[in-house]
């Protein structure tokens, strides 16, 4: 029985491999599209948090939070971030309380039991911009603005993608695209951006001009700088313990190296007088 089944299993595997190869060749033979050819890889972005020795630049994170609060918060939520978490950016307890007090968070009227709102406190999380998807679609041309808490983890190239997207808007479709692919069109209500997979997205350019915000530390608020700062801030919201993780990782590697050296030394000492 085994002699009969074994060849059948082998033939089955071979058949699957042939199907996979055929599918690969078929997909490669498909005609190019504008989305495939003109979708650009994110630009390089150097942040203090990059690399195994990376750590956050709190001054930049505060600027990024300011950009989020004054520009992005009109549409995008930060539902996984609590106001008290902002203390890690260098804000004092009083400053965190003041930031929380600027927001209205969902609550319940203790007298009637009906839904109500109240001033935020440090323990609250950032409230949702829209109560549900229906409201979000109604306010954004049937598109749902994504929550930004984990955005740099949810997108390939993370912060570089965010930065490139924010600085990559173009007022019109480039001539080279329409000349090669005359069928490609950007539908009404969408905006051309080569860093978006479909080359067009519903979000209008959020950073439209220099000095859209005024930085307290005097840093020139160019569009490029604002995009870098908010991208850095979103790296922090996605992984606030990044610096601690890097420290723990380096300590672990150092421990392993030292332990390996001690173990090798012990081995040489124990077997020094032994013959193999």
Place of tokens 């041309």: 141
Neighbouring residues of 91: CB distance < 8 A, sequence distance ≥ 6: 62, 99
Query: Residue 36 annotated as binding?
Result: no
How far apart (Å, rounded) are the C-alpha atoms in residues 105 and 139? 20
Name the helix (H) or strand (E) containing 133: helix 133-139
Contact 62, 221 (CB under 8 A): no
Q: Within 13 Å, how many C-alpha atoms sit on residue 57's CB side?
A: 14
Query: Residue 72 annotated as binding?
Result: yes
Q: Give the N- to C-terminal CA distance of the chain in Å, as an integer.
A: 48
Torsion on CA atoms 18, 22, 25, 28, rounded to nearest 10: -130
* Residue 192 DSSP symbol: E
Torsion on CA atoms 224, 194, 134, 71, rounded to nearest 10: 10
Counted residue by residue, the chain has a size of: 276
What are the contacts of 126-134 at 24+ separation with CB within 8 A? 126/77, 126/78, 126/79, 126/81, 126/82, 126/83, 127/77, 127/103, 128/77, 128/79, 129/73, 129/74, 129/75, 129/76, 129/77, 130/77
Query: Residue 151 annotated as binding?
Result: no
- Detail the residues annotated as belonging to a binding site for heme c: 72, 75-76, 203
- Detail the residues annotated as belonging to a binding site: 72, 75-76, 203
């Amino acid at each position: 029985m085994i002699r009969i089944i074994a060849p059948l299993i082998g033939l089955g595997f071979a058949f699957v491999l042939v199907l996979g190869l055929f599918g690969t060749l078929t997909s490669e033979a498909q005609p190019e599209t504008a989305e495939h050819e003109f979708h650009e890889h994110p630009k390089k972005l150097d942040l203090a948090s990059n690399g195994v020795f990376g750590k956050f630049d709190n001054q930049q994170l505060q600027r990024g939070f300011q950009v989020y609060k004054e520009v992005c918060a009109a549409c995008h939520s930060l539902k996984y971030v609590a106001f008290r978490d902002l203390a890690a950016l260098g804000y004092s307890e009083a400053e965190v309380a003041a930031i929380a007090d600027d927001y209205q968070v969902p609550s319940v009227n203790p007298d009637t039991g009906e839904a109500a709102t109240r001033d935020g406190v440090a323990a609250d999380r950032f409230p949702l911009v829209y109560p549900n998807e229906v409201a979000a679609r109604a306010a954004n041309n049937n598109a749902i603005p994504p929550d930004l808490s984990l955005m740099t983890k949810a997108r390939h190239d993370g912060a570089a993608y965010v930065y490139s997207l924010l600085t990559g808007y173009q007022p019109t479709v480039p001539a080279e695209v329409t000349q090669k692919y005359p069928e490609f069109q950007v539908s009404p209500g969408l905006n051309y951006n080569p860093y978006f997979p479909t080359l067009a997205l519903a979000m209008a350019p959020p950073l439209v001009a220099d000095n859209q915000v005024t930085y307290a530390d005097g840093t020139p608020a160019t569009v490029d700088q604002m995009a870098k700062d908010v991208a850095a801030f979103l790296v922090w919201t996605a992984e606030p313990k990044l610096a601690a993780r890097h420290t723990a990782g380096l300590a672990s590697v150092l421990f392993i190296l030292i332990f390996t050296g001690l173990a090798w030394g012990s081995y040489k000492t124990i077997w020094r007088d032994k013959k193999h």
